[in-house]
A and B are shown apart, each in its own frame.
Chain A
Amino acid sequence: MQIYLPIAEVSVNAFLLLGLGGMVGILSGMFGVGGGFLMTPLLFFIGIPPAVAVATEANQIVASSFSGVLAHLRRKSVDLRMGAVLLVGGLIGAALGVQVFNMLKAVGQVDLLVKLCYVLFLGVIGSLMFVESLNAIRKTRSGVVPKRKKHNWVHNLPIKMKFRTSGLYISVIPPVLVGVAVGILAAIMGVGGGFIMVPAMIYLLGMPTKVVVGTSLFQIIFVTGFTTMLHATTNFTVDVVLAVLLLVGGVVGAQIGTQIGTKLKAEQLRILLALMVLLVCGKLAFDLLVQPNELFSLGGAGGHS
Chain B
Amino acid sequence: MIRAALISLMLVLAWPAAGEEVVAGLSQNQISITTNFDGSEILIFGAVRREEPVPEGAPLEVIITVAGPSEPIVVRRKEKRFGIWVNVDAVEVDRAPSFYAVATSSDWPQVIRDVEDLRHKVSISRAIRSVGAPQTVADAPTFTNALIRIRKGSGLYQTNIGAVDLAQETLFNTRVTLPANLTEGDYAVRFLLTRGGQVISTHNTAIFVQKVGLERWLFNLAHDQPLIYGLMSLAIAIAAGWAASAFFRYLRG
Chain A residues engaging chain B, CB cutoff 8 angstroms: 1-4, 6-7, 9-11, 47, 59-60, 62-71, 74, 109, 111-112, 225, 228-229, 231-234, 236, 238, 240-241, 243-244, 247-248, 251-252, 254-255, 287-292, 294-303, 305
Contacts and interface: CB of A to CB of B under 8 A. Distances in A.
B208 interface: no
A294 B87 CA distance: 12
A234 B226 CA distance: 8
Contact of B240 (A3, A10, A67, A241): A67
B237 A305 contact: no
Given A251-B244, A255-B248, A294-B150, 19 more contacts: A1-B36, A4-B215, A6-B216, A6-B222, A9-B182, A47-B154, A63-B237, A66-B237, A66-B245, A67-B241, A67-B242, A109-B87, A238-B222, A241-B218, A254-B244, A296-B77, A296-B146, A298-B73, A298-B74
A298 B147 contact: yes
Given A228-B234, A252-B244, A294-B150, A7 B76 contact: no
Contact of B76 (A9, A10, A305): A305
Given A74-B249, A297-B75, A240 B232 contact: yes
Interface residues of B, number: 62
A243 B103 CA distance: 38
A290 B83 CA distance: 9
B86 interface: yes
B181 to A, nearest CB: 4
A109 B89 CA distance: 11
B242 A228 contact: no
B72 A301 contact: yes
B238 A255 contact: no
Contacts of A233: 226-227, 230
Contacts, number: 188
A70 B233 contact: no
A6 B233 CA distance: 14
Nearest to A240: B233
B204 interface: no
Contacts of B147: 296, 298
Candidate in A59, A112, A295 with the most chain B CB atoms within 10 angstroms: A295
A22 to B, nearest CB: 11
B74 A11 contact: no
A74 B226 CA distance: 35
B3 interface: no
Nearest to A63: B237
Interface of B: 33-39, 71-80, 83-87, 92, 143, 146-147, 149-151, 154, 180-184, 211, 214-216, 218-219, 222-223, 226-227, 229-234, 236-238, 240-245, 248-249
B218 A60 contact: no
B233 A299 contact: no
Contacts of B143: 296
A142 to B, nearest CB: 37
Contacts of B183: 9
Contact of B92 (A7, A232, A238, A301): A301
A67 B218 contact: no
Contacts of A305: 74, 76, 87
Contact of A62 (B92, B215, B216, B241): B241
Contact of B233 (A59, A251, A295): A59
A251 B74 contact: no
A6 B215 contact: yes
B230 A228 contact: yes
Given A62-B237, A251-B240, A296 B35 contact: no
A240 B234 contact: no
A236 B118 CA distance: 38
A247 B222 contact: no
B234 A10 contact: no
Nearest to B241: A66
A243 B238 CA distance: 12
Nearest to A4: B37
A3 B35 contact: yes
